Amino acid sequence: MNFLVIEGNIGAGKTSLAQKISEEYNAKMILEQFAENPFLPKFYKEPEKYSFQLELSFLVDRFQQLKTELSEHDLFKTFFVTDYFFSKSLIFAANTLADDEFKLYRKIFNTIYTSLPKPDLYVYLYVTPEKSIENIKKRGRNYEQEIEIDYLEKIQNAYFEYFKQHQNEYKFLIIDTNNIDFVNNPEDYKKIKDVILNQNHSKGINRIIL
């Protein structure tokens, strides 16, 4: 394993899991710098007005970060682990941009996407939209409180559609985490860690319920 991606809907716990794995296995962690995006709070309040600016800025930021971090090999780290992958940009943009904007966006995405390394395993933490809302409220980020369940459902469906379209390219591991708490329960963390790192997964879509 050289490059592990941990994804999920908003509030799924992807960053928490990436941090725990990174600490235990001395992996180089790459976290999405979403908090620094000035368009994010504006987008949640006025999505139609700020969607293109938001998605384009995320595209540039994610590409620059991954391109830089993944090219810097650290002899003292075992592997890379991230809480997002570049394809996330396309998934979100497809649900927030108008058709003409998305066509332009996709051209830019396709131009730069091929120059990035691809993950050895792409983990998706599945929680219901209702569970996502519950987690979002718990962590209390002000700009996230405007998120609606319909938006989360659209994003979740877009991820699943992406997995279907690219199942011949990657190893996707979808883990249902609705009934576990890997952040606060050591036994639950051990379960999900073992599934990710100690089991073999075939190319395509692999599903596990914990």
- At 98-122, the pLDDT tens digits run 999 999 999 999 999 989 999 999 9
Residues designated as active site: 83
Query: Range of 55's domain?
Result: 3-209
For a pLDDT cut of 90, what percent of the chain falls above it?
A: 72
As a whole number of angstroms, the distance between CA 174 and CA 54 comes to: 27
Number of domains present in the structure of the chain: 1
For position 100, which CATH number holds?
3.40.50.300
- pLDDT digit string, tens, across residues 127-137: 999 999 988 88
Cα(205)–Cα(164) distance, integer angstroms: 8
57 three-state secondary structure: helix
Distance CA 210, CA 196 (A): 12
Say what the pLDDT of residue 35 is: 61
